[in-house]
Amino acid sequence: ALAPATLLGTWGHILRHPTFWAFTLLAGTSYSGLFTFLAASSFVFIQVFDLSRPLYGLLMFSVALAFIVGTLVCRWLLPRLGVRRTVRLAGGCTLLAGTLMGVLALAGVQHMAAIVLPHYLFMLAHGVHQPCSQSGCVSPFPQAAGAASAMSGFLMMIAAFGMGGWLGHSLAAVGEGQGSVLPLTNGMWFWSVCICLTAWTLVQRHGEAHAAPERVAAAGPAHPAP
């Protein structure tokens, strides 16, 4: 932070690395799917399905549990399948979850189970995508892991900001009493497709990180403690 030229050079080096982009896009799309559910679900479940607020809180608690289970599944799969195959499997689960949610809504099935059950599967896969992507985007930069993590998080928030703007416009009708689950289900379906495409293409191609310390090392060599 005290050497802007060095900092800019480090950021440029990070942004040119394909592994960083593969895992950052995976993290960003998966987080955007989660953000879509968090931002829209209260309108859908409370105003459209007339779910009480305490029950909605319990529902969100169960969603968080599904994510925790997903992280445990990720820990079990990684030694057996490796990062790329684990992410590929989770990408398929994400696509299935989003497609079920979207197709059922378009078919006129307005029932909580048509959203909640696919979303549990989405959250299981999210528990795989997030740990893999957050570690994967920093792995090529052992001497600049903090800068890589910060850049990845910044890009994730940009994606969530854009999605929030679209949801605010789309959910206006729900707030006026014109109940529809489509802003939630269409948003989840869109991000599920994006997650799957990233998991099946970029991560498969660039998922094995190779550290490139030459430029990142410009941040300054480590000096042994006396």
Give the CATH number for residue 82: 1.20.1250.20
Whether 132 and 87 have beta carbons less than 8 Å apart is answered as: yes
**Tokens for 135?**
């570690």
Residues 96, 102, 106, 108: what is their CA dihedral angle, to the nearest 10 degrees? 80
What is the model's pLDDT at position 173?
61
Whole-angstrom distance, CA of residue 195 vs CA of residue 106? 21
**221 falls within a domain:** no
Per residue in 74-86, pLDDT tens?
A: 999 999 999 999 9
Q: Is residue 222 part of a domain?
A: no
Q: Residue 114 has which token pair?
A: 């048509």
CA separation for the pair 215, 213 (Å, rounded): 6
For 39, the domain range is 23-206
Q: Tell me if 159 is assigned to some domain.
A: yes
Is residue 13 situated within a structural domain?
no
Q: Is 220 among the domain residues?
A: no
Is 203 in contact with 28 (CB distance < 8 Å)? Answer: no
What pLDDT does 224 receive? Answer: 44
Residues of the chain short of pLDDT 50, as ranges, are 213-226
For the chain, give percent helix, strand, coil, nearest 5: 80, 0, 20
One-letter amino acid for residue 225 of the chain: A
- DSSP-derived letter for residue 177 is T
User: What is the per-residue pLDDT for 212?
Assistant: 52
Pair of tokens at residue 211: 């550290």
pLDDT score for 97 = 98
98 within domain boundaries: yes
* Residue 144 forms part of a structural domain: yes
Confidence (pLDDT) at 219: 43
Count structural domains, the chain. Answer: 1
Determine, yes or no, domain membership for 5: no
> Amino acid letter at 36?
T
